[in-house]
């Protein structure tokens, strides 16, 4: 399961309307190029594919006076918004996904109502504990990994990772229930995108053929 679909939809939605380079710049600003497959080629490919699928509407903008090809700006459609929010709802409680998927869902959780996010995160903990219960039927952490030979270290890693994630999720729930962050319907959201022309301190500098558009 890839996070690129959610990341691109979320970036376009936050801008209202954005061209490919803006989307790429935002994802780099969030550090997504470090923890996901949000590389230039995959970003531009996702934009075009989702435009074909009706999730984004492509607007062709007249070229600048300096010349060059027309620039394409993308705007999320109603269908795209439904897809976007559905992915956030799907990924937020899914603890057993790759880090890029989990990170993307956390990054966009504020687009859902506060109470719903708390409920989804509690479901995440329930799933972690359910998985841990199934595993410990055959592996007892207190007895140490040696009980399974060196292969036990793999199980030990999984158990410790699940425990840490559950604790982190409980902390996040506590912060949200304590009033942290601005969720859907609560007022002006946090602005996490770069303004047109604003310098990105985390830009990779890697060029892509469509950056000129």
Q: Residue 46: its pLDDT value, please?
A: 92
| Chain centroid to CA 115 | 20
CB 90 within 8 A of CB 36: no
Mean pLDDT value of segment 1-16: 88
Q: Give the integer Cα–Cα distance in Å for 158 and 111.
A: 31
Give the pLDDT of residue 108.
93
Does position 168 have pLDDT exceeding 60, yes or no?
Answer: yes
Give residue 98's pLDDT.
Answer: 81
Burial of 67-93, coded b for 16+ CB within 10 Å and e otherwise, reads: eeeebbbbbbbeebeebbbebbbebbb
pLDDT of residue 113 exceeding 80 = yes
Mean pLDDT of the chain: 83
**Of 188, 41, 13, nearest in space to 104 by CA:** 13
Q: Write down the pLDDT at residue 205.
A: 54
Most confident by average pLDDT, 26-30, 46-50, 152-156: 46-50
Greater pLDDT, 156 or 170 = 170
* Per-residue pLDDT at 203: 57
Q: Residue 212: its pLDDT value, please?
A: 47
Domain boundaries, the chain: 1-91+188-208, 114-182
Fold assignment, 1-91+188-208 = Arc Repressor Mutant, subunit A (1.10.10)
Q: Which range has the top average pLDDT, 55-64, 123-132, 138-147, 198-207?
A: 123-132
What pLDDT is recorded for position 208?
52
């Amino acid at each position: 399961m890839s996070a690129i679909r959610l990341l691109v939809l979320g970036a376009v939605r936050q801008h209202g309307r954005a061209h490919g380079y803006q989307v790429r710049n935002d994802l780099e600003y969030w550090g997504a190029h470090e923890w996901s497959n949000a590389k230039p080629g995959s970003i531009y490919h996702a934009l075009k594919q989702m435009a074909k699928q009706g999730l984004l509407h492509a607007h062709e903008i007249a070229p600048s006076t300096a010349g060059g090809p027309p620039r394409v700006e993308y705007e999320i459609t109603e269908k795209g918004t439904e897809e976007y929010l559905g992915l956030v709802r799907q990924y937020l409680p899914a603890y057993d996904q790759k880090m890029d998927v989990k990170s993307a869902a956390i990054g966009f959780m504020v687009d859902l109502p506060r109470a719903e996010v708390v409920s989804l995160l509690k479901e995440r903990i329930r799933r972690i504990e359910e998985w841990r219960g199934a595993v410990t039927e055959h592996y007892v952490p207190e007895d140490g990994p040696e009980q399974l030979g060196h292969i036990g270290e793999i199980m030990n890693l999984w158990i410790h990772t699940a425990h840490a994630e559950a604790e982190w999720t409980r902390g996040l729930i506590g912060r949200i229930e304590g009033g942290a962050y601005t969720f859907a319907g609560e007022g002006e959201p946090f602005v996490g995108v770069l303004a047109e022309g604003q310098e990105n301190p985390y830009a990779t500098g890697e060029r892509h053929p469509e950056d000129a558009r």
